[in-house]
Amino acid sequence: MLYQELAELYSQIEGTTKRLEKTEILSKFLKKLSDEDKDVMYLLIGKIYPEGNEKEIGISTQIALKAISKSNGATDSKVLEMWKKIGDLGKVAEELSKQKKQTTLKLVGKLTIQKVLENLRKLPELQGKGTISLKLLLITELLASASPLEAKYLTRTLIGDLRIGIKSSTIREALASAFFSGDARKQASEKIQNAYDKLSDLAIIFELSKKGIEHLEKVSLKTDKPIKVMLAQKALSIEDGFEKCGEYLAAEYKYDGFRMLINKKNDSVDLYTRRLENVTKQFPDIVEVVKKNIKAKSCIIDSEIIGYNPKTKKYMPFQAISQRIRRKYEIDRLVKELPVEVKAFDIVLCNDEDLINSPFEQRSKLLKKIIKSEKYKITTADQLITNKVSKVREFYEKAIKDNQEGLILKNLNAPYKPGSRVGYMLKLKEELRDFDLVITGAEYGTGKRAGWFSSFILSCMGNKKDEYLEIGKVGTGINEKEDEGKITFKELTKQLKPLIIAEKGTSLQVKPKIIVAVTYQEIQKSTNYSSGYALRFPRVNVLRPDKPLSEITDIKEVEDAYKGQKKK
Ligand code: ATP
């Protein structure tokens, strides 16, 4: 298949904001897609491998910019200037490609999906010094033979900013519509979602959808694929918890750490965050613990990872260890300085048996059986099974005294629902005034902060996918000097620089990627920001590298919090 066909599809999907139209366009395309070209499914969401694969394209805008200038015979400064004006590197590549002389266009129109994937997949293999020129070669080779439209989407794919507004639900609906009709279609849509939550592999889901509903139904968990985790709803009170969970419930400590899925098959262990990022390399300590303390040939375990001070052995808040998720160097030092303990709380596969539909009580018992508890290495979550409100209250107070966030109340009879917030687990915690927001802009600092970004534009999710609405600016809560667990201006600047999308004077627009938990004093109505609201005294509490962009605070939550605050 030619890449041009995919570029045209992207363009059509981008051309409409209507979800139904997007679905129809995609459905037509999928009907024609052959099994041979199934990896196109990854490219549809801007990826080259299924979710959970650690190999990502990872090209900074700076390298992409260089490749664009090289492949078009333009200077870097010209490309930079166009980028500042247009604000979309993809469009810059398209423009320049249009202006290219006819003589260089011999190869245009020949780019195949296979070739694109082949080159893109070589990029993550090139690590370390001296690889930039090799990366440039691979990218320029593609861009040089790309049509203007191909250049646009290739560039956007490279920098991880496809901007076509396609949600996973659109892909699910399009698959259902392509391969099923009538009553079967609605049923298929649900089965496709279930299968996807278990496998997280769009190319396989495409193949199975094509084969028929019974093939989707047969999908079982695999230790080499991450599943989407089950999410918690809020409990308004302990009584509310009982109402939703039943006469008896399990209350567990809500640890202040980060979620981790542990997939084990014999001696091979894979660790994933709830964003389905593969973080095995960052946690060799956990890999060892899993091999030693989990007595099962194969398993998929859901857990919370918490950090403790290696000297005092005191548990520390999430922010202190959050850097362990992202850091890919000096891992041995971090393992010693920021040790972690696994708090396992669920199991969905054990010795190849799929336990998703077994009741939680049974899963929990099995978990306790196969884990050899060792303090500061791995234990199961502290748990209380009861039918008494007063007992839960005592347990809650104990959790708070132990520096944890509160409790998670669990329905003992419930199955595990990957990817859903169905109310089988409820969080009971002190409500802080905080939002999880994404940084969409930054400004250079002056004086002591010269050379760093010192002020950051925060945005919440809008009503539409890919729509981010500004809600304030923050510079507080970030440190000038290194301090235990706190993010510094230097580090944040380093993380944001490769994400720059447009630059005007000292202000920059950045790709929405870095998520921060922000506390604030009050929400006000405001015409200064596109959300219509502004946060008073916002303060960055902690970076949330574990959280997916799709789960940040949305405008509805902001409105609700604003209304709630007025009532008070
Ligand atoms: P949200 O999930 O609402 O987006 P959040 O990331 O702050 O926000 P919460 O919903 O507050 O997380 O709480 C659910 C999280 O609590 C789980 O995703 C998990 O990481 C964590 N957690 C800690 N202890 C447990 C436990 N015993 N059982 C289940 N989850 C736990």
For the stretch 209-259, pLDDT in tens is 999 999 999 999 999 889 999 999 989 899 999 999 999 999 999 999 999
Burial track 274-304 (b if 16+ CB lie within 10 A, e otherwise): bbbbbbbebbebbbebbeebbebebbbbbbb
Give the whole-angstrom CA distance, residue 518 versus residue 478. 11
Helix boundaries (H) for 360-497: 360-370, 389-401, 489-496
Q: What's residue 542's pLDDT?
A: 85
- Find the 252 Cα to ligand 1 centroid distance in Å: 11
Contact between 464 and 165 under an 8 Å Cβ cutoff? The reply is: yes
* Closest to 374 in 3D by CA, of 258, 286, 500: 286
Q: What's residue 171's pLDDT?
A: 94
Q: What's residue 419's pLDDT?
A: 86
Q: What's residue 240's pLDDT?
A: 94
Q: What's residue 416's pLDDT?
A: 96
Give the whole-angstrom CA distance, residue 286 versus residue 274. 16
Give the whole-angstrom CA distance, residue 551 versus residue 384. 29
Q: What's residue 484's pLDDT?
A: 60
- Find the 426 Cα to ligand 1 centroid distance in Å: 9
- Find the 232 Cα to ligand 1 centroid distance in Å: 6
For the stretch 49-91, pLDDT in tens is 998 887 888 888 889 999 999 999 999 999 988 988 888 899 9
Which amino acid does the sequence have at 268?
S
- Find the 342 Cα to ligand 1 centroid distance in Å: 14
**Active-site annotation holds for 254:** yes
* Closest to 375 in 3D by CA, of 406, 404, 339: 339
Instruction: Say which residues have a Cβ less than 8 Å from residue 540's Cβ, sequence separation at least 6.
Output: 456, 474, 476, 477, 478, 487, 516, 517, 518
- Out of 396, 427, 518, give the residue to mutate to test ligand 1, the one with the largest number of ligand atoms within 8 Å of its CB: 427
Helix boundaries (H) for 47-182: 61-72, 76-86, 89-99, 113-122, 132-144, 148-158, 168-179
The single residue of 135, 191, 254, 343 carrying the catalytic annotation is: 254
Tokens of 423: 């109310």
What are phi and psi for residue 39, nearest 5 degrees?
-65, -10
Which atom of ligand 1 is found nearest the CA of 256? 23
Give the whole-angstrom CA distance, residue 183 versus residue 301. 36
- Out of 229, 255, 412, give the residue to mutate to test ligand 1, the one with the largest number of ligand atoms within 8 Å of its CB: 255
Query: What is the pTM for the complete model shown?
Result: 0.78
Q: Which residues of the chain have pLDDT under 70?
A: 101-109, 431, 465, 483-485, 566-568
Q: What's residue 345's pLDDT?
A: 98
Give the whole-angstrom CA distance, residue 270 versus residue 291. 11
Residues in contact with ligand 1 (CB, 6 Å cut-off): 231-232, 252-255, 259, 304, 345, 381, 408, 425, 427, 551
Contact between 92 and 78 under an 8 Å Cβ cutoff? The reply is: no
- Out of 228, 254, 407, give the residue to mutate to test ligand 1, the one with the largest number of ligand atoms within 8 Å of its CB: 254
Which atom of ligand 1 is found nearest the CA of 258? 20
- Find the 341 Cα to ligand 1 centroid distance in Å: 16
* Closest to 555 in 3D by CA, of 426, 441, 437: 437
- Find the 246 Cα to ligand 1 centroid distance in Å: 21
Which atom of ligand 1 is found nearest the CA of 544? 6
Give the whole-angstrom CA distance, residue 365 versus residue 534. 48
Tokens of 255: 């640890």
What single string gives the DSSP state of each residue in 474-516?
Answer: E-TT-BSS-BTTB-BHHHHHHHHGGGEEEEETTEEEE-S--EE
Give the whole-angstrom CA distance, residue 217 versus residue 146. 40
Which atom of ligand 1 is found nearest the CA of 383? 27
* Closest to 538 in 3D by CA, of 468, 456, 467: 456
* Closest to 459 in 3D by CA, of 442, 480, 479: 442
Closest Cα to atom 19, ligand 1: which residue?
259
